[in-house]
Chains A and B, each alone.
Chain A
């Protein structure tokens, strides 16, 4: 839910790009972003409808939450807020008891297994004061009476690009690679009150598992870089050697081109060594031949016709 259009705003010097840092290295508004509710549709009513699932019949599936009793939900809210409220569109407020009520309804209707609420506003911890449902974990960027601050100003774009709490959260995740098994405890302990200029408070009284045992991937996902290789089976044997290369060098130094080249070299070396099983070789050749044929459908139809002919001939001979 995005209330304002920031990326393609006429005042944005860098159209279709939203950065989290002044160095403009990471574009958060990538090519595959999808925004389901935006502009005037971001209202407290729609937000509560999404949480509780009470939509009109005509609302399409992409605008519904569609969660069930095994889902882990991450709810991240940011903006302006205060003592037990969060501001929506400068015109309405979401109150803490409304949120608690919605979560209670969700629990009764079994719409989640675990819910994590992350709030980055002023006095954020008050927003989840009234929560009572089990299996809910909540973290806010500041306590009652404290403000949450933005991190730094980007003089090119003209506004502060990111808030402190969000900046340090993103920094934590950027440091991880796919083999780290970071837990929520390490995430929550990485917040330094001196750097945040506020106290990041979290409540775990409604959440049973120990935070040190819960991996961050229970709630957070990531965008994976996919590398295309031409051969299917050989890639598996070269995967282990590729992985070793990856874990040694820091990721941001390897470019995609380098990785591809390394993978190709590995494949060529292995090709000469490997002995080919005749059966698989025959199947691969047949597969290649079939791919070259333009109209596979006619070949199959011909085959069926020939088979029918054979069957009729054999049945008439009997």
Chain B
């Protein structure tokens, strides 16, 4: 019996171990979706779709996913990507009206075209190869020409100017890339419910691409598990930000237009994605200053928040949150279905005006100079009205300063002279040491790598405007390197202006922040803004010149060799001489006769070849007749005179 028990114990232990493994949960994959709607002060509406997918760390190498897209996890595994962001944008973010200080604009106001940056987890010598393979893989995945970023002339390795400080970071941008349905479709196919169910079913392509600004962004980061032997988890965040103009029939121009989901997108939400852990629609209204009461006690008070004198919501929100001056209404769409679609509408009853908070300095960039040889690039930073009210002013040595980081990439054919960098603060030129605290320059090499400039400026808080200018020479490209529409010009990618001492966050004081959208807003994100893309006209060759050169050269060759051969080899009248020498026996009598008459006449012997035989014969015949007549006349006259005797 004891031996039996002893044999049982290891079996029991084994069994409990197995059971523990079976239950012992691995955390599961999570997917959540959210839509944030926000009316903007200039009569437009911002719609921000946010999808987050988390894959927990796991120790199996070829792991199975049931929510997380396999394409992304394979990408991360193959290229050892630690963090990556890829965005497709069309349109320009209007910082003046749409804001620049909130987390939404800092994270989603992207430069035009394609922007890609990635941090790798491979040895330093392999980072460039991994970047090249990553660009090719992404171009196949998203139907875009991201593979143009593979050549070393189109990407750069920023350091501290970019925000993420790593030496395995690579950044590239393609300003001229088009964005259309074929880029959105594979992006949506990464979601568990694709575009068939849930919030993503709202994305009517014509409505999305009719917007003033649309930007789809994919951000993935790996989360170290900290435990030995466990692989890292991946967090995939996909956002689509669209700024739309609702159609309005009202004539008054100072009233905000009323809209609903069906008028903006042409569709309604019919049910949430069943695979989503949380599925919410948020409506954020700014400029709602009111009493700071977190708990709304009476039923009437709560009702007044979403149906009042200013505006009306068509549906009752599930929750209402406040944060200094903005109101957030939360709607849970789990309850909606085919028979009761979710169609949120906002009707304005009174005209209202508000303004969005802007970044401390507003940045614009432009080209100076004319001609195809040289020029200058200037960045202008202007103070905005919200400058005084912002937190984050750093006081050093008794002076209040604003820090600004500027990061720029210059293609190699824009040969920048870094010694011509000039900084003007309030229209007075300052020496560099006063304002420029840190600078990192990576000069370009012709046809090999592009140039990079990172600067940190410390400007006084009361600054009204600051300008930075730098001169450049335009380079020449080989004829094969010109794109088909070379006469349009070449692009200098957007510069990034970031304010490291300012952090934007929106904290709605929610205790259970299980909404990924709100928790991403809560994190302090760097305030950043992108400038415009510059179009530089370079000297373009006349592309028809190869054809012209070939034609002219062939003509000259033909003329030269042709005339040379003619002069050397052609004899004029060769044919007549040949014929003459052949026909000499038959025409001897005629020639003798002409020679005799010529001798009588005393004329020099004409060479028989000077005249053509036909002319000669006609000439001879007329001469002969004339002579005969003359001789006959002379004979008749002599006869007449001689017979007179």
Residues in A lying within 8 Å of B, measured CB to CB = 5, 7-9, 14-17, 29-36, 38-41, 58-63, 89-91, 298, 301, 304-305, 308-309, 312, 316
Contacts and interface: CB of A to CB of B under 8 A. Distances in A.
B641 interface: no
Nearest to B132: A58
Nearest to A37: B145
Nearest to A309: B15
Contact of B136 (A29, A60, A308): A60
Nearest to B26: A297
B185 interface: yes
Nearest to A62: B140
18 contacts: A5-B178, A7-B181, A8-B179, A16-B180, A16-B181, A16-B209, A33-B185, A35-B182, A38-B143, A38-B144, A40-B483, A40-B484, A59-B147, A301-B19, A301-B22, A305-B15, A305-B18, A305-B22
A100 B413 CA distance: 39
Contacts of A59: 136, 140, 147
Given A31-B185, A301-B19, A39 B145 contact: yes
Given A60-B141, A305-B18, 19 more contacts: A5-B178, A8-B90, A8-B179, A14-B206, A17-B205, A17-B206, A34-B186, A35-B180, A38-B144, A39-B177, A39-B178, A61-B140, A63-B140, A91-B484, A305-B19, A308-B18, A309-B15, A312-B11, A316-B7
B133 A58 contact: yes
B143 A36 contact: yes
Interface string B477-494: 000000110000000000
Contacts of A9: 178
Given A8-B90, A60-B139, A15 B23 contact: no
B181 A58 contact: no
A89 B7 CA distance: 80
- Name the residue in B185, B195, B484 with the highest tally of chain A Cβ atoms < 10 Å from its Cβ: B484
Contacts of B150: 58
B543 interface: yes
A62 B141 CA distance: 8
A33 B4 contact: no
B210 interface: yes
Those 10 A-B pairs whose CB atoms lie nearest each other, nearest first: A60-B140, A301-B22, A8-B180, A5-B178, A15-B209, A58-B136, A91-B484, A16-B205, A62-B140, A89-B484
A245 to B, nearest CB: 23
Contacts of B181: 7-8, 16, 29-31, 33
Contacts of B137: 58, 60
B354 interface: no
Contacts of B8: 312, 316
A304 B449 CA distance: 61
Contacts of B182: 33-35, 38
Interface residues of B, number: 41
B424 interface: no
A62 B143 CA distance: 9
A63 B139 contact: yes
B472 interface: no
A298 B198 CA distance: 28
A62 B182 CA distance: 13
A64 to B, nearest CB: 9
B148 interface: yes
Contacts of A90: 484
B148 A40 contact: yes
Nearest to B186: A34
A49 B186 CA distance: 24
A39 B179 CA distance: 11
Contacts of B15: 305, 308-309, 312
B533 interface: no
A39 B133 CA distance: 21
A39 B146 CA distance: 11
The listed residue with most B CB atoms (<10 A of its CB), out of A16, A63, A301, A308, is: A16
Max chain A C-beta neighbours (<10 A), residue from B22, B179, B195: B22
A137 B144 CA distance: 32
B407 to A, nearest CB: 26
B456 interface: no
Given A35-B182, A316-B4, A8 B209 contact: yes
B240 interface: no
A203 B429 CA distance: 75
A37 to B, nearest CB: 8
A224 B185 CA distance: 18
Given A8-B181, A59-B136, A38 B145 contact: yes
B208 interface: yes
A17 B484 CA distance: 25
Contacts of A7: 180-181, 209
Contacts of B90: 8
B332 to A, nearest CB: 19
Contacts of A34: 143, 182, 185-186
A63 B144 CA distance: 11
Between B148, B181, B185, B206, the greatest number of chain A beta carbons within 10 A of the residue's beta carbon is seen for: B181
Interface in B1-28: 4, 7-8, 11, 15, 18-19, 22-23
Contacts of B18: 304-305, 308
B20 to A, nearest CB: 10
Nearest to B137: A60
Nearest to A12: B209
A305 B22 CA distance: 9
A62 B18 CA distance: 43
Most interface-central of B90, B147, B150 (chain A CB within 10 A): B147
Interface in B481-530: 483-484
A8 B182 CA distance: 10
A168 B143 CA distance: 30
Nearest to A60: B140
Contact of A15 (B143, B185, B206): B206
Most buried by A among B11, B180, B186: B180
Interface in B188-243: 195, 205-206, 208-210
Contacts of A38: 143-145, 178, 182
A65 to B, nearest CB: 13
Contacts of A8: 90, 178-181, 209
A256 to B, nearest CB: 14
Nearest to A30: B181
Contacts of B210: 15
Contacts of B195: 31
A41 B136 contact: no
A309 B137 CA distance: 50
Contacts of B22: 298, 301, 304-305
A7 B148 CA distance: 22
A308 B22 CA distance: 13
A246 B206 CA distance: 31
Nearest to A298: B23
Nearest to A300: B22
Most B CB within 10 A of own CB, among A14, A38, A89, A90: A38
Contacts of A31: 181, 185, 195, 205
B545 to A, nearest CB: 14
A36 B208 CA distance: 22
B218 to A, nearest CB: 17
A316 B12 CA distance: 12
Contacts of A30: 181
A298 B484 CA distance: 61
B184 to A, nearest CB: 9
Contact of A40 (B145, B206, B208): B145
Interface in B152-180: 176-180
A16 B181 CA distance: 6
Contacts of A298: 22-23
Given A31-B185, A33-B181, A16 B136 contact: no
